[in-house]
């Protein structure tokens, strides 16, 4: 039986990763390409059924997204969700050099197909911290497609997913900045997500991940806005839903507790009484019309 090396020594270190995957995305490449520097280059307005991502290698320009113009410059990432109308215009003095790539079959939970951003999120993110890595991945994908050496399709597939993971990392880091994503915008994303999923076993980390917000910043903003933590807010939503079920149905209280995500009936009773001043049974009696 062969020996498996597990112990670290000063000379030999072992590094492992968490097996839990945060996202399960298997992109299908539509195309990859480049835009060479050209003064006053201008595209016409258009949209795609697929996701398109631009990386500004050099230069400056204007991008118009749904009739709203934005400045773009070196190391910016521009993300066009499916069906978003857009066009780019290169600067005369510092013409654009762009790498671009498009993907189909992108499915992110609670977002439309081929969308990786909520509709309220920004489309432009600075990626200075990852510039060399992004450039390497864009070049790798394009060169593999051009050379078509053995196993190129598998390499392109894996590199495409890696590129998207770095894009997610860029988005997440930028969304930590209040200037890029204000409190109102965060709540406009977070509150509907909680409303649609509070009966599930969701917590701060999952909500932050789904909404592309750093969990520590989300916790701070949420508590500041509502005077309670995300967990307290979710429990309040569950108790509110339980109140409705207790009054409007004949379900046993224990079944309602489980339906609301409370596996411990005693804990459910305590949380319910803390919120309403009554036990679930007392609440049902007090709020049912007398025969």
Q: What is the pLDDT of residues 10-20, one digit of tens each?
A: 777 776 655 54
Task: Write down the pLDDT at residue 183.
Answer: 64
Q: Which residue has the higher pLDDT, 211 or 60?
A: 60
- The answer to whether residue 278 scores a pLDDT higher than 60 is yes
The β-bridge relationship of strands 86-90 and 28-35 is: unpaired
| Residues 25, 164 contacting (CB under 8 angstroms) | yes
- The answer to whether residue 182 scores a pLDDT higher than 70 is no
CA-based torsion, 191, 196, 200, 206: positive or negative:
negative
Closest CA to 272 of 231, 238, 227, 233: 238
- The answer to whether residue 201 scores a pLDDT higher than 90 is no
Residue in the structure block whose two tokens are 């609440």 = 283
CA distance 282 to 273: 9
CA distance 227 to 113: 35
Question: Which phi and psi (to 5°) does residue 12 adopt?
Answer: -130, 125
Q: What is the pLDDT of residues 203-256, one digit of tens each?
A: 888 888 776 666 777 888 888 888 899 999 999 999 999 999 999 999 999 999
Per the DSSP assignment, residues forming a β-bridge with 276 are none
Task: Write down the pLDDT at residue 22.
Answer: 52
Proportion of the chain above pLDDT 70, given as a percent:
86
Rounded (to 5) percent helix, strand, coil in the chain: 40, 20, 40
**pTM for the predicted model, two decimal places:** 0.60
CA distance 48 to 181: 25
């Amino acid at each position: 039986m062969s020996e498996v090396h597990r112990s670290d020594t000063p000379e030999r270190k072992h590094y492992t990763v968490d097996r839990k995957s945060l996202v399960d995305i298997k992109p299908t490449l539509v195309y990859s390409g480049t835009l060479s520097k050209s003064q006053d280059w201008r595209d016409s307005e258009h949209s795609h059924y697929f996701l398109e991502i631009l990386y500004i290698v050099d230069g400056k320009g204007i991008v118009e997204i749904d009739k709203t113009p934005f400045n773009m410059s070196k190391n910016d990432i521009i993300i066009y969700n499916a069906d978003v109308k857009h066009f780019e215009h290169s600067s005369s003095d510092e013409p654009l050099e762009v790498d671009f790539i498009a993907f189909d079959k992108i499915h992110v939970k609670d977002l439309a197909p081929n969308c990786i951003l909520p509709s309220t999120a920004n489309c432009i993110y600075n990626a200075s911290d990852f510039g060399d890595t992004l450039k390497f991945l864009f070049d790798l994908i394009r060169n593999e497609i051009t050379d078509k050496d053995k196993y190129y399709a598998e390499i392109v597939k894996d590199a495409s997913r890696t590129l998207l993971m770095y894009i997610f990392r860029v988005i997440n880091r930028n969304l930590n900045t209040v200037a890029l994503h204000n409190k109102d915008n965060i709540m406009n994303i977070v509150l509907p997500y909680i409303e649609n999923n509070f009966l599930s076993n969701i917590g701060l980390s999952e909500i932050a991940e789904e909404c592309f917000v750093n969990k520590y910043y989300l916790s701070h903003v949420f508590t500041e806005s509502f005077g309670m933590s995300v967990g307290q807010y979710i429990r309040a939503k569950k108790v509110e839903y339980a109140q409705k079920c207790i009054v409007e149905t004949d379900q046993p209280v224990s079944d309602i507790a489980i339906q609301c995500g409370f596996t411990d009936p005693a804990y459910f009773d305590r949380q319910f009484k803390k919120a309403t001043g009554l036990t679930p049974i007392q609440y049902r009696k007090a709020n049912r019309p007398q025969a």
